[in-house]
Structure 1
Amino acid sequence: MIAGMKPSFQTAGRLEAVRYEIRGALARRARELEQQGNDVLHLNIGNPGAFGFRTPETMRRAVIRNLPFSEGYGPQAGIFPAREAVAMQFQARGLTDTRYDQVVVGNGVSELVDLTLRSLLEPEDEVLVPAPDYPLWTAAVVLNGGKAVHYQCRESDGFLPDVARIEEQITSKTRAIVVINPNNPTGAVYPEETLQALADLATRHDLIIFSDEIYDSICYEDARFVPMAPLAPETLCVSFGGLSKVYRACGWRVGWAVFTGALERAEDYMLAVEKLAALRLSANVPGQWAVQTALGGYQSIADLVGRDGRLFESRQAVIEACERSRFLELVKPMGAMYAFPSVRTEVFGDFDDHRFAAELLEHKHILIVPGSSFNIPERNHFRITLLPEAEQLTEAFERIDDLLEELADEPQRIRAVK
């Protein structure tokens, strides 16, 4: 510190345990490179609008038609037509008693993750979170005073959880378990028997299930999404969904949480969530008018994920690029809009994913997310989005392979620091 200068303002220490490299230092460096006149391919984030995907026209019209009714605050838990539409979706999934008052609408799933964890956790309470995870979950647990206990979903197991190992991690402080299906970042789609085993585990140990299902309709080939809620009638299940991904409306910030199962024991908890929702007054009102149209209308996502669909073809381009590479391996993503390749450890035994991502950005102008950002110990993975056109992804992986070829001769550039 310079003599006479006042010390820096305090920063909360709990942020040391928060990772979000998806929009972190590498993304800031990418913006600097762009300001210098470079074109950077952003493979770091699942933002459909940035790659030419449009929200369905019927949803846009629903918002425009209802703008006169959107200028005041809405109800803290969401407008009735949106909540009723989500409840009807769950009725169609077999939960025929689902009512609108079991649904809370928020400013995207991200806000609802925070509200539901803040309403639950006391200091040092534990939440089981998958690793790799979408890092918001770990961050939200930590920021709300809890401890994220990561259960490993190993590449060798197709990134599926091992339920027996999870049970060994449960303690008297464990309050909940997070399930992300279809999975971000790996693209794994959990079979029904795995989900049922997780539901049974939660029931045995009286845990709340937080089921992140934001990619519920994005499945490829013969993969099938199975909702968690019907499998867990004897414990509390909170299922999350929204307009961002399936309906390509990220900027509208509309998500929902649906409470099912042991509702008779969850009345106080649900009132606590609604109290926090009231403190922020209401979720974005205009976007909520599109929920009924979205869920009840033509599901155009099927055209994108089916054979010959744009997302399917982009996924196929990534699969084929990894098959051609002597450096890369890939567990084929069966859902969501990401791939999670790994670099062969027999070629790069001491690989550092962050240093590799920095080299790739500086020299090839491609922005990826290091795999360890998703709370795993391994340092040889990275995540990319499948949203660009297939041709763009083919070219991107050619540049990735070119860099790996160079680094094979200069491994010290990406060697992990001991």
Structure 2
Amino acid sequence: MSRRSQGKRSWDVRASVLARNTHNLIRSIVENLQVEPNPNKPLIALSVGDPTVFGNLNPPEQVLQAVRDSIEWSSSRGYGSMVGHQEARQAVAKYSAHQGSVTGDDVILCSGCSHAIELAVTVLADSGQNILVPRPGFMIYKTVAEGLGIEIKHYDLLPNQQWKVDLEDLENQIDKETAAIVVINPSNPCGSVYTREHLTEILEVASRNCVPIIADEIYEHFVFAGHEFTAMSAISKDVPVLTCGGLTKRFLVPGWRMGWLIIHDRQNILGREVRKGLFNLASKILGPSTLIQRALPTILESTPQSFFDEVVLFIENQAKLAFEELQRVPGLKPIMPQGAMYMMIEIKMSQFPEFKSELQFVERMVAEQSVFCLPGECFCYPNYMRIVLTVPEDILREACQRIAVFCQDHIASRENINKIGSNEVALANEACETINV
């Protein structure tokens, strides 16, 4: 007769703490929208940052052919190095020469830029520490960090100064537990492109406080006329920079999941431990697709500059179109981007008193006009919404016209706006008197 196990007597299977504490803010908000589009109008989704959704933007033939050729390589079918094939890593180093002096040994190939971000955060921060993230900013950092017990602290961007970093606020957020500062340039969701001078100011804050930088540069070179992209690592004298990039946006192939992390450490501050830590973390998934790795050197070397120029010009023209249309809409204030693929639009909520938040505003706009924009809540920035600029021109124009109709239908009269404003002042005065008492 077998001896009775001393284990559990009943089923009690639960999700881990990591699983329970991991949330993708954008996905959660999008998937929990309790509203159906207007059945009489086709849905226009200006929400997802995937430039391939509408089929109007496609990679050039050279990129597609590189992958076709890769299929013939026997080495594109098996496992690769956990940090990527050396030839592909060296190709990234050459492609990224504008970022400073790097070799293939400084490059780790990743499963998309989001994987590079995960490596950067987890190699630098432990549970109980914090990383500084821009507000508004892309919330993948929150998704990666909070499940691991890493705190997210926000520093503010300045909407009236083309979303420059509030340097005083940035420095005030730093404490002894700050493990890294995240800088997203060009910006998602703002579309800002920082000047060399402003990046130097950010580096000075990091240097004074001895905090490394995670440079999210997936939109590198995605800049409009009159602006110039400068890599953070190219101008850092002493601050270590982990740069996250990839094929996703610039080459219009997000589904290929090819990203990279580049280590820039002129003063050897990170040392061997951090490098070894990155290799250890990379070993968890044994590197990205070897099919795309084998094609990577050709993709990076053979894609014509004219392709990039055409894509950026198209998006810049889309930004101008949306800005011109929406700046005339009462209750809205679009902020003209300088690059990337997005535009942030302020919703003057006091002029739409029937809505308690921009989330309600966005939900109703889906229900009535079948236009879906991401609410500012997705970026920890209320009273704004973000639109994507990669949709075809006729669809973007139609979306802007529908947004205008929605605002005209719901904006309060001037008399009511003034009344609401007076009530808010009265309540504020009453609160101050209560405090003084």
TM over 0.5: yes
Classify the secondary structure of the residue corresponding to 2:96: helix
Runs of 4 or more off by more than 6 Å in structure 1? Answer: none
Give the aligned partner of residue 186 of structure 1.
190
Give the aligned partner of residue 381 of structure 1.
384
Pairing 1:240-319 to 2, within 5 Å after superposition: 240-261=244-265, 262-263=267-268, 265-297=270-302, 298-299=304-305, 300-306=307-313, 310-319=314-323
Hey, what's the Cα distance between the residues in 2 that align with 1:87 and 1:107?
17
Match of 2:205 among 170, 176, 201: 201
Cα distance, 1:28–1:288 mapped onto 2, change above 3 Å: farther
Equivalent residues of 1:240, 1:255 under 8 A apart: yes
Cα distance, 1:122–1:264 mapped onto 2, change above 3 Å: closer
Is the aligned partner of 1:356 residue 2:375?
no
Equivalent residues of 1:114, 1:140 under 8 A apart: yes
- Aligned-residue CA RMSD (Å): 2.7
Hey, what's the Cα distance between the residues in 1 that align with 2:231 and 2:167?
18
Q: How far 1:164 sits from its partner (Å)?
A: 2.3
Q: How far 1:176 sits from its partner (Å)?
A: 0.6
Post-superposition Cα deviations, 1:204-244, rounded to whole Å, max 9, x if no partner, equal 21211100011112111201111000221312101111111
Match of 2:410 among 388, 407, 411: 407
| TM-score, structure 1 as length reference | 0.88
Amino acid at match of 1:302: D
Paired-residue identity, %: 26
Moved more, 342-351 or 211-220: 342-351
Classify the secondary structure of the residue corresponding to 1:44: coil
Amino acid at match of 2:111: N
Is the aligned partner of 1:218 residue 2:225?
no
Moved more, 225-234 or 284-293: 284-293
Amino acid at match of 2:42: D
Cα distance, 1:283–1:10 mapped onto 2, change above 3 Å: closer
Hey, what's the Cα distance between the residues in 2 that align with 1:405 and 1:31?
21
Equivalent residues of 1:342, 1:382 under 8 A apart: yes
Hey, what's the Cα distance between the residues in 1 that align with 2:40 and 2:351?
34
Give the aligned partner of residue 157 of structure 2.
153
Q: How far 1:178 sits from its partner (Å)?
A: 0.2
Equivalent residues of 1:117, 1:144 under 8 A apart: no
Classify the secondary structure of the residue corresponding to 2:249: coil
Moved more, 256-265 or 66-75: 256-265
Aligned length: 399
Q: How far 1:293 sits from its partner (Å)?
A: 2.6
Structure label with greater radius of gyration = 2
Moved more, 77-86 or 178-187: 77-86
Give the aligned partner of residue 3 of structure 1.
none
Amino acid at match of 1:65: D
Cα distance, 1:73–1:30 mapped onto 2, change above 3 Å: farther
| TM-score, structure 2 as length reference | 0.85
Classify the secondary structure of the residue corresponding to 1:406: helix
Q: How far 1:294 sits from its partner (Å)?
A: 3.1
Q: How far 1:295 sits from its partner (Å)?
A: 2.6
Moved more, 161-170 or 8-17: 8-17
Moved more, 104-113 or 262-271: 262-271
Equivalent residues of 1:322, 1:329 under 8 A apart: yes
Equivalent residues of 2:99, 2:232 under 8 A apart: no
Amino acid at match of 1:77: V
Give the aligned partner of residue 170 of structure 1.
174
